[in-house]
Amino acid sequence: MHMAEDAGSKGQAALETVFGFSQDDLAVNRLGELSATQKDQIARAHYANSRFAWIAFLIVFGVAFFGFCADMLRRDTFGARALAAYAGVTMLFALILWGFILYHRHQMKRTLRDGRTFPVKGKIRLYTKRSEKLVHRYFCIGDHPFQVERYDHFVLLQESGLAGQEAIMYVSTPRKAVQSVDMASYFGRGQS
């Protein structure tokens, strides 16, 4: 029994590291709610991603603008019409990016307002999918796969012996993201 509890503790600690939750967060998730810390993390991640998207947009279109101007000057075709075409294309992409950000902001706000989690029970699966140049790593319970971005996190999950273990994963809604994973109830330390 102690070996199973040690394996469960090691696995639980690995899950907490990879998905960034605490035992307090897990206790709130068991009640079907998001913790205040998790709500703050969701909002901060959204705003950081939005900032990154706008910075990347400005860099790409800024470099493209200098390349565009250099090419127009080299070919001696620089004029108001060419500049207007570039501005139009830039505005089109800016509107698409803005729409994408607004959609995700709406999902984030609904998630924060509703503040709900739902449990997914089953066995943990860890697997990779390879495409031509990319490898995607997944953590899955039931038919709910979630991508593990960092390779070191995926290795930690593998080395913790989690594959095949029973667990309950708490997923936020409507923005589906892993909030916490509970192995404790399967090792005799049960839910209240």
The H-or-E segment that residue 173 falls in is strand 166-173
Instruction: Report the candidate in 101, 100, 88 with the shortest Cα–Cα distance to residue 61.
Output: 88
pLDDT in tens, 60-109: 888 877 777 777 777 777 677 777 777 788 888 888 888 888 887 787 78
Question: Do 112 and 128 form a contact (C-beta atoms < 8 A)?
Answer: no
Query: Which amino acid, 159?
Result: E
* Token pair belonging to 49: 């991603």
For residue 89, give the amino acid letter. V
- pLDDT (tens digit per residue) in 10-39: 889 999 999 999 999 999 999 999 888 888
Contact 29, 180 (CB under 8 A): yes
**Burial of 162 from C-beta contacts in 10 A (0-12 / 13-18 / 19+):** buried
